[in-house]
Amino acid sequence: MVQIPERPAPGAPPVRINLYSDTQTRPSAAMKAAMMEAEVGDEQHGDDPTVHALCDRMAALLGKEAAVYLPSGTMANVIAVNVHCRNGDEVLAHETAHILTSEAGTHAAIAGVQVNPLRGPRGMFDADTLRAAIRPRSRHSPEQTLLEIEQTANIGGGAVWPLATLTELTGIAREQGWSTHMDGARLMNACVAAGIPADRMCAGFDSVWLDFTKGLGAPLGAVLAGSHEFIDRAWRWKQRLGGSMRQAGICAAACLYALDHNVDRLAEDHANAKALAVGLRGIEGVVVEEPDTNLVFFDPTGAGMSPAALQAALRGEGIAVSGLGGRLRACTHLDVDAPMIEEALAVTRRLLRG
């Protein structure tokens, strides 16, 4: 098994239209300038003013008491599960949730918890499904302690959980005495698409984090928010997991820049995704899932080419898409504009017709 990330194949053309992921964004010149001008200190010592500014702003944005700056969103999930749960507990989440599919089994390995995978279309489940998963309290059963939601649902096609559904699900969790956690990797995409403020979107959740390295365009970092007590305990887990970042204000400045400049423009990514979906749907045989946000999942098999074959052919043309769950995923972001979408469609049409 290959664990090390694969490097680009020798001789491969440079990627000129990168639809692989919104993690592929590069910091703009203005963002880099903000980073270079940042006032910094030792984040671990508590004297980095730019990190404090970011955490205070994020706590207010998300409607929580406090926040902590972390190297990655995966670390935010790991910390949250460890704070909310004890060894042997059970977490309830969708079967395609990031904590199950993409975090290397860390919640079993480090937190010692099991995840109960719930089913539902587009990466989401409803109240009836959640209620059906409630276990009788018994020494024979794991203690259920945490409800986890991924907003937006990545493998679900970037689907946005409706606020009414979130309210109903967190109400059930409260009835059962569970904690609640939102994986908010693309939370701002959901808020922009739904027209709902972030604090309202995650009001029912004890903890929530936002990733700055996706559509918001920062080079690294995520902010985890919750109560003062939760964040106090989160700091111990940050230390245990090696999350020291020292003069982290340089990177926190990029996140502050992103909040000022890159949130409202997410609507452009959503418009580009819809345009891409319309164009792909116009190619005979291609099955396309309607996007809610910036992720477009499609299957070209009916047009005579397997997903893997089309992915390779597009890469040969300098266009990158990802493969996920037997489908292709195209992700729009701030480094992809409308003319690039049209060019990607033209190349896809040519490849499939050829």
Per the DSSP assignment, residues forming a β-bridge with 224 are 68, 209
- Residue tagged 């703009």 (tokens): 28
Give me the pLDDT at residue 84, please.
98
Give me the pLDDT at residue 12, please.
87
8 Å CB contact between 35 and 28:
no
Rounding to the nearest 10 degrees, give the CA dihedral for residues 32, 36, 40, 44.
Answer: 50
Whose CA is closest to 155, among 188, 182, 187, 122?
122
CA angle 342, 258, 80 (to 5 degrees): 110
3-class SS at 90?
strand
Quote the pTM value.
0.96
Whose CA is closest to 320, among 333, 332, 334, 330?
330
- Residue tagged 């406090």 (tokens): 66
Per the DSSP assignment, residues forming a β-bridge with 191 are none
8 Å CB contact between 256 and 50:
yes
Model pLDDT for residues 104-114, shown as the tens digit of each residue: 999 999 999 99
Give me the pLDDT at residue 148, please.
98
Per-position pLDDT tens, the chain of length 354: 578 988 888 888 999 999 999 999 999 999 999 999 999 999 999 999 999 999 999 999 999 999 999 999 999 999 999 999 999 999 999 999 999 999 999 999 999 999 999 999 999 999 999 999 999 999 999 999 999 999 999 999 999 999 999 999 999 999 999 999 999 999 999 999 999 999 999 999 999 999 999 999 999 999 999 999 999 999 999 999 999 899 999 999 999 999 999 999 999 999 999 999 999 999 999 999 999 999 999 999 999 999 999 999 999 999 999 998 899 999 999 999 999 999 999 999 999 997
Rounding to the nearest 10 degrees, give the CA dihedral for residues 159, 74, 196, 226.
Answer: 150
8 Å CB contact between 211 and 182:
no
Whose CA is closest to 68, among 271, 245, 297?
245
Give me the pLDDT at residue 343, please.
98
Tokens of 350: 């040519």
Model pLDDT for residues 99-144, shown as the tens digit of each residue: 999 999 999 999 999 999 999 999 999 999 999 999 999 999 999 9
Give me the pLDDT at residue 10, please.
87
Task: Calculate the alpha carbon distances from 43 to 76, 241, 246, 248 in Å.
Answer: 17, 16, 5, 6
Q: How many CB atoms lie under 10 A from the CB of residue 267?
A: 15
Rounding to the nearest 10 degrees, give the CA dihedral for residues 48, 181, 64, 227.
Answer: -80
Q: How many CB atoms lie under 10 A from the CB of residue 340?
A: 18
φ, ψ dihedrals at 182, nearest 5°? -110, 120
8 Å CB contact between 215 and 266:
yes
Give me the pLDDT at residue 7, please.
87
**Alpha-carbon distance 229 to 221, whole Å?**
22
Tokens of 335: 């480094």
Whose CA is closest to 159, among 298, 347, 290?
290
Cis peptide, bond prior to residue 152, ω within 30 of zero: yes
Give me the pLDDT at residue 1, please.
55
3-class SS at 25?
coil
The number of residues in the chain equals 354
